[in-house]
Structure 1
Amino acid sequence: MKPVIKRLPARPDLAHLKKQAKQLLNDWREARPEALERLQALRVVAEPVSGVDRAAQRVEAAPRLSLAQLCLAREHGCSSWSELSAWVTVRRQLSEDPARRLQHWLALVYPGDVVGSLDRARPRLAAQMLEEEGTAMLGEDPWLACAVGDLETLRRASSRDPAWVHRPGGPLALPPLLAVTHSSLVRLPAFAEGLRDSLRWLLAAGADPNQTAGSRWPPASVAAPSNEHALTALYGAAGQHGDAILTQLLLDAGADPDDGESLYHALEHPDCLQPLLEAGARVAGTGAIYRVLDRDDLLTLRLLLAHGADLNEPPPQGAAQAWPSPLLWAIRRGRSLAHVETLLDAGADPAVRTAEGLDAASLALQYGLPALAERLACGAQPAQSRLSARFVAACSCGDEPAARALLSMQPGLVAALSAAELRLLPEMAALGRHEAVRCMVRLGWPIATPGGDWSASAFNQAVFRGDAEMARFLLAHGADWREVHGFGSDALGTLSWASCNEPDGIGPGPDAGDWPGCAAAMREHGMPAARPDPQDPDALLIDGRSLEFSDEVCEILLRLP
């Protein structure tokens, strides 16, 4: 039987829902049958095996607050605790300021660069709010009708004023095509066909497929959009929401595939990437070749190369400048031998050098990738004339006996390492390379050396990944939670941001994503105790700073003395 969805009251209290989740967690720990049934009914834990006594079966998942919260979220029709928290906020806003309900709804339908916020769109909540509030709040506004794919309202508007399809309007001052293609409701089956039909109709009515609007991403706004960064209808279809049908409709109507955003963001949407490339989207100069090497996506790499990706393209501004070619960037990102073979087969030059003068084979050795190094040296053993280079390679491979033997031959090796070589410690931490990190730290690498994409120490990198095992090791060997990173905060700020946002692509490792474990390690190694912030019910005070954390991290920090 499908579980009955619970409705939130008019003024829901998130603190009350948090208490319910903690009670469910306690009941789960005590193996109360009703708690296990709730968890199983919402597929938070595995269903019991048919024909076996329920009492004799063990729930495979260990009791965790995040899973109890997920169960509560699903009971209220939300896909995650984050979504339920956002829905609570929306419901309270509606209760306290009903006159702005349309603005609240639009903030759920469209992403931040359309509505002027830092928030992402939440289509499920937008649909739920529309169901509860009713479509009457949209009125006969054709631009609002574009957001939901209400084709009949569009037709009525054109019977009154055929020219409306050519101009921006509505509460967000959007051109009609952008109002359609940037609507996140296209991700929901109940709205997708209506939005696609609306786009077909608008194009047939003569709307320009290259309609644009200035980005509203802060500090820009709806009232003062950016003149430098344009939003296109194609970017909404292909880059924001990855809808292949909307993308193809626009391309068939003559949308410019080289709008500066669509191709780069469509890397995550292969069904949209292919038609963009077939329509002539330019790969060279977009940074897409570097972006695809950030991800383990060999098929997309080959697709970009087949459509003119430039193997000599200079990197984007920032950290990539030290690795000035896609081949070097692939090595730095720890991509596979197949990735490197693909680049070489396409004409990548193995003699290309880093800003420090290393060729590709030497860089591969420096990053602990001997198989790549051998291939780049055309099957020969790559030459390593300097003792320090051999020492670095041994450390990056996690070969501590070999590294110690070299260190015994020249005890001052670590002190003589270059700045680029010292930055390998945070690089290895960011890649989740435990053995390399242990070897480097044990042999005297300066533990607080900043590096990586955001100039952060190995400890900051471990906390960002939620790698509690690595974090504990680093703390035990002298790392400090006060180590400052390139964004001006320290590991406490890293813990706050990462635990709340749970970043994607944090890499391999059994402990990746264990921010509560990182919090416990930091507290056990001298970070001051936490207490609730009397001025902010969602924050904790630590060392005089008010910060928000995930609920699981808060629980750990408040529980530890």
Structure 2
Amino acid sequence: MTDHLDPFRRAAKALRKSHLMGDHQAVARLRAHPPRSELSELKHADYLHVIALENSFASWPQLKLAVETQGMDRAQKQQRLKIALFHGQGWVVDTLMQETPDLAEGLFGLQVAMYDVDAVRSALWDDPTLATKMAGPRTPMLHLAFSKMIHQWPDRRDAMIDIADMLLKAGADVNDATPATPEQGRALSALYGAIGHANNMVLGQWLLDHGANPNDKESLYHATELGHHDGLAMLLAHGADPAGTNALYRAMDFNDHVAVDMLLKAGARADDFNGEPQGGEAPHVFPALHQAARRMNDGAMIDLLLAAGADPRAMFKGVTVYSAACVYGNTDLVDRLTALGITPALTDQEQILSAAAQQKPPGGFLDPAKMPTVYRDIIREILHLPGKDAHLRALVAAGAEWDKPDDQGLTPIQIAGWEGRPELVQYFLSLGPDLTHVNGYGGTLLSTIVHGSENCPERANRDHIECARIVLDHGVALPKRMGDLAGMPEMAAFLIDWAAAHPGQVVAG
């Protein structure tokens, strides 16, 4: 079968060859249509990008989509539209709708997700029960809440709210939620969809104003990941109760003093139950200073917690706050505990772990069977933190478990990939990890990297594409449709290009 993209790929290869030979015309083409990388670091994907620009497309994925949709029938285009909406691929939605403006006709859930207010009004006039019926995998209220199209079409804000009003008037429930699944342990509410998933503060405010429950066990936690505090303030103003949740600890993950202060003033307790227990455990208090130790919170955060009543002598699963501070290398916490006269003796295993944190000779080797259970996942816990690479390598040298899955089934290399840390991905690959491991969310190493490119809070400052390149160079298989489903256009372009250049590495599934 003819691949209609082949002429464009050949053009990119020819451009690359001419440019490397110093051809003046090739140089002029790159000046007229600048690639995304520096001229000294161009890769094949950059030349594909230039070819796309020369053909009046903003990117190679957009050119590819346009070529592919030429051969699709209406049903195939509708299926591609559903996938794009589900994965938040706004540029794909835009392209499909420009080509076929009536593509969503008769598909109520898609019309809701794309804020087609006239179509929704007409459909509800004919059949008001549509507001409460499942439309594919979600109810209409959930299609609206989980849609990310507000970022593609901010001018449709009023239309979005009009649709929310119409759905509510027709009987929709603002507390609709997706059913719990084995991958997602609890139901996900419309409020979580708007605030935690779509970062849609306008719709989140509307939901709260119309009775959405702010204590849905997800929204408050994920609001601490947004950084701008709007969602958090909104939830707290509508009665979200942080006591007994893990929202405080999630805010501490980012050393976010403002969010922690907001949560403490709203009733969060410094030493509290850390959300719901895992694996059938009984509920247990998770002391805030233990979290501060392992997240390397600074002195200002520690002072804030101490002022809120955090117990500097608190034990957690047999270890002290001082031990945790030494083991994770949090010198600010060590200094404050020392000033308080709280310096209990460390066990032999804790002394080895503490030496690794200081990059000193360990004086022995770690025995996982003798280590406190809270330290068994220490490599996975510190690898995303700044300045911890030497500490991590010292732990490996001392015998720490560098390929152990955590409670969610995530291995250190998968976390390194999700965090977009290519140097750590390369390091773990050198150790020989299990590349066939599937985590508790059903993710492989490569799919975890792609997921991180869309969801890691630090993704703007990380390099997920380089992580993907490293593992693919190492021989990891590339699922055929992964490029089409990637939500980040640059990642999609890279995976699509890789699949074309390495067909033998592409697998179904």
> Which residue in the other structure is 2:491 paired with?
none
> Which residue in the other structure is 1:546 paired with?
none
C-alpha distance in 1 between matches for 2:182 and 2:39: 45
Question: CA, structure 1 residues 159+334, in 2 after alignment: closer, same or farther (shift >3 Å)?
Answer: same
> Which residue in the other structure is 1:310 paired with?
269
Q: Give the 5 Å matches for 1:15-414.
A: 25-26=16-17, 29-30=20-21, 44-45=35-36, 59=38, 62-68=41-47, 84=62, 88=65, 92=68, 95-109=71-85, 111=86, 120-135=87-102, 137-139=104-106, 144-157=110-123, 159-160=125-126, 163-164=128-129, 167-168=132-133, 170=135, 174-175=139-140, 177-187=141-151, 188-203=153-168, 205=169, 207-208=171-172, 210=174, 212=176, 214-215=178-179, 230=187, 232-269=189-226, 270-311=229-270, 312-318=272-278, 324-355=286-317, 357-380=318-341, 382-384=343-345, 386=347, 389-398=350-359, 400=360, 403=361, 407=363, 412=364, 414=366
SS in 2 for 1:127: helix
C-alpha distance in 1 between matches for 2:18 and 2:126: 61
Unaligned runs of 5+ in 2: 484-493
C-alpha distance in 2 between matches for 1:235 and 1:458: 28
Higher relative contact order (CA 8 A, sep 6+): 2
Contact 2:396 2:402 in 1 (8 A): no
Contact 2:84 2:92 in 1 (8 A): yes
C-alpha distance in 1 between matches for 2:411 and 2:183: 30
SS in 2 for 1:186: coil
How far the C-alpha of 1:416 sits from its partner, in A, is 9.3
SS in 2 for 1:95: coil
C-alpha distance in 2 between matches for 1:531 and 1:259: 38
Counterpart residue type for residue 147 of structure 2: S
C-alpha distance in 1 between matches for 2:394 and 2:235: 46
Sequence identity percentage? 23
Question: CA, structure 1 residues 260+96, in 2 after alignment: closer, same or farther (shift >3 Å)?
Answer: same
Counterpart residue type for residue 434 of structure 1: D
Q: Tell which deviates more after alignment, 29-38 or 233-242.
A: 29-38
Q: Tell which deviates more after alignment, 13-22 or 189-198.
A: 13-22
C-alpha distance in 1 between matches for 2:117 and 2:99: 21
Question: CA, structure 1 residues 536+199, in 2 after alignment: closer, same or farther (shift >3 Å)?
Answer: closer
TM-score by length of 1: 0.68
How far the C-alpha of 1:396 sits from its partner, in A, is 0.9
Contact 2:145 2:191 in 1 (8 A): yes
Question: CA, structure 1 residues 413+124, in 2 after alignment: closer, same or farther (shift >3 Å)?
Answer: closer
How far the C-alpha of 1:367 sits from its partner, in A, is 0.8
Counterpart residue type for residue 102 of structure 1: Q
Contact 2:35 2:50 in 1 (8 A): yes
Give the number of equivalent residue pairs: 481
Contact 1:467 1:518 in 2 (8 A): no
Question: CA, structure 1 residues 95+428, in 2 after alignment: closer, same or farther (shift >3 Å)?
Answer: same
SS in 2 for 1:135: coil
C-alpha distance in 2 between matches for 1:335 and 1:124: 38
> Which residue in the other structure is 2:399 paired with?
445
Unaligned runs of 5+ in 1: 1-10, 47-58, 112-119, 221-227, 524-529, 540-548
Q: CA RMSD in A?
A: 4.8
C-alpha distance in 2 between matches for 1:323 and 1:39: 59
Superposed CA deviations along residues 376-406 of structure 1, whole A, max 9, x for unmatched, are: 44454734455654443222122x3xx36xx
How far the C-alpha of 1:296 sits from its partner, in A, is 4.2
Question: CA, structure 1 residues 17+160, in 2 after alignment: closer, same or farther (shift >3 Å)?
Answer: same
Counterpart residue type for residue 64 of structure 1: K
How far the C-alpha of 1:218 sits from its partner, in A, is 8.2
How far the C-alpha of 1:132 sits from its partner, in A, is 0.7
Question: CA, structure 1 residues 210+509, in 2 after alignment: closer, same or farther (shift >3 Å)?
Answer: closer
> Which residue in the other structure is 1:543 paired with?
none
Counterpart residue type for residue 198 of structure 1: I
Counterpart residue type for residue 94 of structure 2: A
How far the C-alpha of 1:19 sits from its partner, in A, is 5.5
SS in 2 for 1:324: strand
Question: CA, structure 1 residues 352+379, in 2 after alignment: closer, same or farther (shift >3 Å)?
Answer: closer
TM-score by length of 2: 0.73
Question: CA, structure 1 residues 332+275, in 2 after alignment: closer, same or farther (shift >3 Å)?
Answer: same
Larger Rg: 1
C-alpha distance in 1 between matches for 2:126 and 2:477: 58
Counterpart residue type for residue 112 of structure 2: C
- For residue 389 of structure 2, the aligned residue among 434, 454, 474 is 434
Contact 2:294 2:382 in 1 (8 A): no
Question: CA, structure 1 residues 296+105, in 2 after alignment: closer, same or farther (shift >3 Å)?
Answer: same
C-alpha distance in 1 between matches for 2:477 and 2:204: 48
Question: CA, structure 1 residues 379+501, in 2 after alignment: closer, same or farther (shift >3 Å)?
Answer: same
Superposed CA deviations along residues 155-204 of structure 1, whole A, max 9, x for unmatched, are: 4445555x4475326556624x334333332222243332123324555x
